[in-house]
Amino acid sequence: MLGFLRSTILSKIVMAVSGAALVGFLIAHLTGNLLVFAGPEKINAYGQGLRDLGPLLWVLRIGLLVAVALHIISSIFLADKNRTARPVSYSKKKSIQSTIASRTMLFSGITILTFVAYHLLHYTYGIVQPEFYHGEYMLHDGRTVHDIYSMMIHGFTNPFITVSYVLAVTFVCMHLNHAIASAFQTLGFNHPKYNAKIKMFGVGLSAILWVGYLSIPAGIMAGVVKLIEGAH
Amino acid sequence: MKLLLKIWRQQNSETEGKIVDYMLDDVSPDMSFLEMLDVLNEKLIHKGEEPVAFDHDCREGICGACSLMINGVPHGPEKATTTCQLHMRKFTDGQEIVIEPWRAAPFPVIKDLVVDRGSFDRIIQKGGFISASTGSAQDGNTILVSKIDADASMDAAACIGCGACVAACKNGSASLFVAAKLSHLGLLPQGQPERSTRVLAMVMQMDEEGFGSCTNTYDCEAACPKGISVKNIARMNRDYLKASLFGV
Ligand code: HEM
Ligand code: SF4
Ligand code: FES
């Protein structure tokens, strides 16, 4: 199954396809999380809706896990190959037209990975802030569900969590600033008529994701999103 | 002009090398970069020292023999120009110039600034050709080539195999070179029969030689003295994917 690792080009293609799946996840995840602005009812019902997917949720989770695994395996293989390709470094080396984002993909990737692990420990496993993990919320239809809304607010009231989140989102968007346009090239799509648009799409989408993800802590800190009295 | 040259000196592939400083006076701004090194070498020979070894042949920008990392940029500061076509007027009086060989595992240093680019030859041997029967050549006019394809193929064929793309790439990737050779042949009717086997074989050899992978940073394109475009790399990826998925 990992035969693609024999070829740098196939590894890059796996990287691009798995990366594209992860970009899809980031868009979906943001769309869901923005419901926090619609109040506790909406976002908690959405969270419950995800849980109600049952086996389908597991299909999505496993798909995501496979994409992450493939992305990381190929990045390790390629990074190792790239390192050994230049055993003696230059005493003076200038980059000519490459961007910083393109030269630091491994670094931004590892930063993202570290944050994702922490993020899962926080919101999925409830290990980071266990005191806020078991909150319950009663939906209008009478069902009692996991209170995501207050958990998010408690998270972003903690300065350490907020700062690490802001940094991580920034690194994700730096990664994507290069990655999205890069994936088109890797998959063989390069045309003078569309190149400028592809680049704009990559930069634009990463900027939208950045603003979107950061609007949540911003909204909470600005008091637009706040705890509802008596709901907790 | 007066220059402080910091040049990589290395006796042979077995020994370790180091940067050695040389002061050089009376450099004419009209000299080419290689002529400036010729002047340095004459001085060194007069002093009984070993001259600096560097590669060169045509000295008119067409053979691909000259190389040199000049102040951190392959072929020096002038865009789309080989080292042999670079003139000293691009530098300033009193400037410090660091001169190093191409750095990549598949380009081992032979001596001083000379590297062995045999890895490129081995990639070409795997498919950088078309197979044609011997005998009298077919009348050229019977094979129609669109102007667009002919131009794109000619642009790719401008690659002189110098290796600046590898030298510039942070990953030591040879993608631009291999892609140029693939586009050069793959865009013409004569290149079609072997198009799929060619891309698989040449890329496999590229990987086996120990070149790095492309991360689309595009420094290669900026360093290339012939302005080869990275769109050729996209074409290589496309052809490679097609050949891997659908066979040859
Ligand atoms: C939210 C998570 C992530 C997303 C959405 C994402 C997306 C992408 C995309 C679309 C590409 C472009 C592929 C191409 O150019 O062919 C890419 C490249 C890359 N990613 Fe990720 N990635 C993520 C996480 C990671 C992680 C965790 C790592 C490392 C452990 C990583 C390391 C890399 C590397 C090294 C590259 C190749 C750099 C390049 O080709 O320029 N990424 N990523
Ligand atoms: S692609 Fe450009 S830089 Fe690379 S070998 Fe050919 S001419 Fe030299
Ligand atoms: S010596 Fe031939 S290209 Fe420079």
Which residues, other chains included, contact A171 with Cβ-Cβ below 8 Å and sequence gap of 6+? A108, A111, A112, A115
Spatial separation of the C-alpha atoms in residues B198 and B179, rounded to whole Å: 11
Contact between chains at B219 and A97 (C-beta distance less than 8 A): yes
Contact B226, B158 (CB under 8 A): yes
Residue A20 has pLDDT above 70, yes or no: yes
pLDDT higher than 70, residue A150: yes
Mean pLDDT (10-residue bins), chain B, 248 residues: 98 96 96 98 98 98 98 98 98 98 98 98 97 84 94 98 98 98 97 97 98 98 98 98 90
Residue B152 CB less than 6 A away from ligand 2: no
**Best mutation site among B32, B33, B66, B113 for ligand 3 pocket (most ligand atoms within 8 Å of CB):** B66
Residue A12 alpha carbon to ligand 2 centre in Å: 22
Spell out the long-range contacts of B149-156 with Cβ–Cβ below 8 A and sequence spacing 24 or more: B149/B187, B149/B188, B150/B188, B152/B183, B152/B187, B153/B183, B153/B184, B153/B185, B153/B187, B153/B188, B155/B228, B155/B229, B156/B180, B156/B181, B156/B182, B156/B183, B156/B184, B156/B187, B156/B228, B156/B232
For chain A, the residue count is 232
Interface of A with B (CB under 8 A): 6-13, 78, 81-99, 102-103, 105, 178, 181-182, 185-192
The pLDDT value recorded for residue B211 is 98
Domains along chain B with CATH numbers: 3-111 (3.10.20.30), 117-246 (1.10.1060.10)
Taking contacts as CB-CB distances below 8 angstroms, the residues of chain B near A90 are: 69, 72, 100, 103
Q: Where are the domains of chain A?
A: 2-221
| One-letter-per-residue 3-state SS of A12-53 | HHHHHHHHHHHHHHHHHHHHHHHHHHHCHHHHHHHHHHHHHC
pLDDT reported for residue B97: 98
Using pLDDT thresholds of 50, 70 and 90, give the confidence band for residue A232.
very low
Q: Is the pLDDT of residue A59 over 50?
A: yes
List residues bridging with A144 in a β-sheet.
Answer: A138
- Report the alpha-carbon distance of residue A86 to residue B106 in Å, rounded: 9
The residue assigned the tokens 């500061």 is: B77
Mutation test of the interface with chain A: which of B8, B13, B178, B217, choosing the one with the most A Cβ atoms within 10 A?
B217
Q: Which CATH architecture has domain A2-221?
A: Up-down Bundle (1.20)
For chain A, how big is the Rg over CA atoms in Å?
20
pLDDT of residue A231 exceeding 60: no
Residue B8, classed as helix, strand or coil, is strand
Cα-based angle B39, B92, B58 (whole degrees, multiple of 5) = 45
Per DSSP, the three-state class of B18 is strand
Asked if residue A230 has pLDDT above 60, the reply is no
Q: Residue B105: closest CA among chain A residues belongs to which residue?
A: A85
Tokens of A7: 């070829």
Contact criterion met (CB < 8 Å) for A8 and B203? yes
B160 CA to middle of ligand 2, Å?
A: 6
- Sign (positive or negative) of CA dihedral A75, A76, A81, A82: positive
Mean pLDDT, residues A193-221: 97
B100 touches chain A (CB under 8 A): yes
Q: Do A86 and B105 touch (CB under 8 A)?
A: yes
Q: Which atom of ligand 2 is nearest to the CA of B227?
A: 2
Q: Count Cβ neighbours within 10 Å for each residue of B127-163 and write b for 16 or more, e otherwise.
A: bbeeeeeeeeeeeeeeeeeeeeeeebbebbbebbbbb
Q: For chain A, what percent of residues have pLDDT higher than 70?
A: 98
pLDDT value at position A229? Answer: 63
Q: Give B41→chain A minimum CA distance, Å.
A: 22
**Ligand 2 atom closest to residue B161's alpha carbon, by position in its atom list:** 5
Q: At what angle do helices B231-246 and B175-186 cross, to 10 degrees?
A: 70
As for the ipTM of the complex, it is 0.94
CB of B161 shorter than 6 A to ligand 2: yes
**B163 CB under 6 A from ligand 3?**
no
| CA atoms of A136 and A146, how far apart (whole Å) | 5
- 3-state SS, residue B61: coil
B48 CB-near residues (< 8 Å, 6+ apart) = none
Q: Are B105 and A85 contacting, i.e. CB atoms less than 8 angstroms apart?
A: yes
Atom of ligand 3 nearest to the CA of B160: 3
The pTM of the full predicted model, rounded to 2 decimals, is 0.94
Cβ contact (<8 Å) for A105 and B215? Answer: yes
